[in-house]
Amino acid sequence: MKTVNVSLVGVGGQGIILTADILAKTAALAGLDVKKSEIHGMAQRGGSVTSQVRFGSSVASPIIQEGTADILVSFDKVEALRNSGILSKGGTALVNDLYLVPVTVSSGQQKNPEDLDGRVKKSFKKLVLIDAMKIATEGAGNARTMNMVLAGALSTLCPFKEETWLKAMAEMLSGPKAKLLEVNKKAFALGRAATEV
């Protein structure tokens, strides 16, 4: 199997690393070679975070080169635009329909970006836009499961069975985190349902 490149981007505190860990675990459970890398901007909440996952028959490097990602998963619209260059020509952008006001805007150093929706739609030929926060809050009843809504949406773009994803989730959310498994599974199912064709 050829190597598939998935770049996950957003800001600290959104659950990007856990989402990437679950994707990597799913690929490993499916018997594939997996490499993963993380780049943290500012470690505290609000700084940019990128996690890259590569899986296939044989993966040499964990780093995705500019213009070679098959899937860009962005946890908000500004980060989607900031990271648009990583996506390959035929790649798919999975974007959370969310605008987090950057510190540079809230502090008055920069203006709010204009026509963000239009720019996102123009930047990506293959775009899956999902209101993960709304689905997490209203559907799963927990805003903190937004990342699992995005994981569910991502699962429709990856070549793995749903049960493999759920097994990976159960392994990642074990021990003290086990109590979070059911609500996260619900959020995952809602994200998957929202993007399945």
Domains and CATH numbers, the chain: 4-195 (3.40.920.10)
Nearest CA among 144, 130, 131 for reference residue 186: 144
What pLDDT, on the 0 to 100 scale, is given for residue 197?
60
What pLDDT, on the 0 to 100 scale, is given for residue 42?
60
Phi, psi of 52 (to 5 degrees): -115, 135
What pLDDT, on the 0 to 100 scale, is given for residue 57?
97
Q: 193 or 108: which carries more pLDDT confidence?
A: 193
pLDDT digits (tens, 9 = 90+) for 154-196: 999 999 999 999 999 999 998 888 889 999 999 999 999 999 7
**Residue 136 exposure: Cα atoms within 13 Å on the Cβ side:** 23
CB 147 within 8 A of CB 157: no
pLDDT digits (tens, 9 = 90+) for 32-76: 999 999 987 665 556 789 999 999 999 999 999 999 999 999 999
What pLDDT, on the 0 to 100 scale, is given for residue 178?
86
What pLDDT, on the 0 to 100 scale, is given for residue 127?
97
Query: Order of strands across the sheet with 87-96?
Result: 33-40, 48-56, 4-11, 69-74, 87-96, 126-130
What value does the mean pLDDT of the chain take? 93
